[in-house]
Structure 1
């Protein structure tokens, strides 16, 4: 059944978030609900697939699978916007839309392959990362659900590669010195820090742990040079994994959170939605500072229950 819903979105969690970081989808859904954004479920998504490794193996297969995801979304709604939670997924789907919108032969070939699944890609498809979706909303709408200001929280926003590039498609405010994550964090009352390397690659896509650790080390050192800092805020599960791997190895207790978690915390989400158990670098200190009274009592009650 095709649903026509003005202003609705279809969340695209991606593989890594669905299997390892469910707190991202949980907090994103909480935030969208508080913002009054209709969400449509039911699309039969598969892996995006990966915009680097898989694409280098076979661009045709990569484009076909991406096209399948786009067509699956269209099958349940012709109007809803696809909102990926993962930067890599966003790159794949956004680039696929660009290619298929400008290359009739490629679109014809993809649709031919999709026939056996009863799918067809037609018309326009809109794809926008969760963070860019938030950025598009009026400031008063973003502020309205805030129950707890994050005043005093010093945050280093990290963009990584795929949220910004290719810039002709992603259209960030700046490729080297973007500010849209900082603007969102500032709306919540937190203080974004200014540092070099926030648009660098974390190295996780190299599939070489040593390379990733070395590249992440440089980024963390530049963040730490800012002085007092409470958390790193990121947009991508691969970047999140790279940061946590390095911080755990070096025994640095600097929490890493997704932007959706910061918004959910400010909007009054309960601890079970915030998903602290999925963090290797503990976020308890931040939750203790900003959980509102009612949620804090629930959290303490849960702890007592576990002790008993």
Structure 2
């Protein structure tokens, strides 16, 4: 079955492992991810100015392309998902704005494309995704880090309970792992503060990782390239700030799928992980 797919920019650069592993893993479940032709950047972070109609041009272009295909668009990047969902919320509830952007672009988008995250798609097709599992994850305990973009604002995103989500934990159970619930799983990782307020962002990351460890997590999963970058890439700096910190691996959720499906190790993409998960995987006899 072909599924329209929007990777977004990061999945061809720093998050290439997410792109490669999700395509290969979905193929195991008999879903062929078909990229939108000539897709554009979504505009990244959604504007807070509701009268800024220019910021809605990029999302509408993408959604108009999806409308011409099958009306459903799979979006794995949390930031792209957030941007497209929030733009679509406006298109569905503000016909005047929708008309202005359509006229400007010469499009006829009607607001009815369903923007779906892989976690939602997997939940609706559990039997197919479960049937492909070949390798046990053993007793590996995985903390589920949601961050901000998947959950907020609640009315516009509608992904899960923004304070007590469970969809990622359900995913880990489906893959045969042990999910770890920890209080700071919905806290911000610092996002773009990492650029101009490094120390503040690192303190936020440290609190999240410490909280996950204290609740039993041996590694974390995420779907957000910015969250993954912040959580994974700066743990050496955190050790200098907090010598007691023990680095913890950060996986994209699709890497866990690739492992569970026993795909070739190059699809696992472990070389992309700054904090190597190899020791952990060997401890659980996965590698």
**TM-score computed with the length of structure 1 as normaliser:** 0.83
Assess if the C-alpha contact under 8 Å between 2:28 and 2:132 holds in 1. Answer: yes
Assess if the C-alpha contact under 8 Å between 2:206 and 2:238 holds in 1. Answer: no
Assess if the C-alpha contact under 8 Å between 1:12 and 1:84 holds in 2. Answer: yes
Paired position in structure 2 for 1:185: 172
Confirm whether residue 36 of structure 1 aligns to residue 30 of structure 2.
yes
Confirm whether residue 48 of structure 1 aligns to residue 42 of structure 2.
yes
Unaligned runs of 5+ in 2: 240-245
Assess if the C-alpha contact under 8 Å between 2:88 and 2:111 holds in 1. Answer: no
Paired position in structure 2 for 1:210: 199
- Once the 2 structures are TM-superposed, how far is the Cα of residue 80 of structure 1 from its aligned partner? 4.4
Distance change >3 Å, CA 99–CA 231, structure 1 → 2 = same
- CA–CA distance in structure 2, aligned partners of residues 37 and 18 of structure 1: 20
How many pairs are equivalent?
A: 279
CA shift digits 1:92-132 (9 cap, x unpaired): 111111111221111111112212xxx44236211011222
- CA–CA distance in structure 2, aligned partners of residues 43 and 55 of structure 1: 29
Paired position in structure 2 for 1:246: 234
- CA–CA distance in structure 2, aligned partners of residues 151 and 102 of structure 1: 47
Distance change >3 Å, CA 135–CA 248, structure 1 → 2 = farther
CA shift digits 1:57-101 (9 cap, x unpaired): 9831221111111112234x1x24211111110011111111112
Paired position in structure 2 for 1:3: none
Paired position in structure 2 for 1:96: 87
Unaligned runs of 5+ in 1: 1-6, 297-308
Aligned residue runs from structure 1 range 228-239, under 5 A = 229-239=217-227
Match of 2:153 among 166, 175, 198: 166
CA shift digits 1:198-250 (9 cap, x unpaired): 011111134532322121111111112124x3211112111101101332323
Q: CA RMSD in A?
A: 2.2
- Once the 2 structures are TM-superposed, how far is the Cα of residue 20 of structure 1 from its aligned partner? 0.8
- Once the 2 structures are TM-superposed, how far is the Cα of residue 253 of structure 1 from its aligned partner? 3.0
Assess if the C-alpha contact under 8 Å between 2:233 and 2:275 holds in 1. Answer: no
Assess if the C-alpha contact under 8 Å between 2:7 and 2:35 holds in 1. Answer: no
- Once the 2 structures are TM-superposed, how far is the Cα of residue 194 of structure 1 from its aligned partner? 2.2
- Once the 2 structures are TM-superposed, how far is the Cα of residue 145 of structure 1 from its aligned partner? 0.1
Distance change >3 Å, CA 122–CA 57, structure 1 → 2 = closer
Assess if the C-alpha contact under 8 Å between 1:44 and 1:72 holds in 2. Answer: no
- CA–CA distance in structure 1, aligned partners of residues 128 and 205 of structure 2: 35
Paired position in structure 1 for 2:4: 10
Confirm whether residue 134 of structure 1 aligns to residue 128 of structure 2.
no
- CA–CA distance in structure 1, aligned partners of residues 138 and 113 of structure 2: 38
Paired position in structure 1 for 2:243: none
Assess if the C-alpha contact under 8 Å between 2:151 and 2:160 holds in 1. Answer: no
SS at match of 2:63: helix
Match of 2:215 among 226, 241, 247: 226
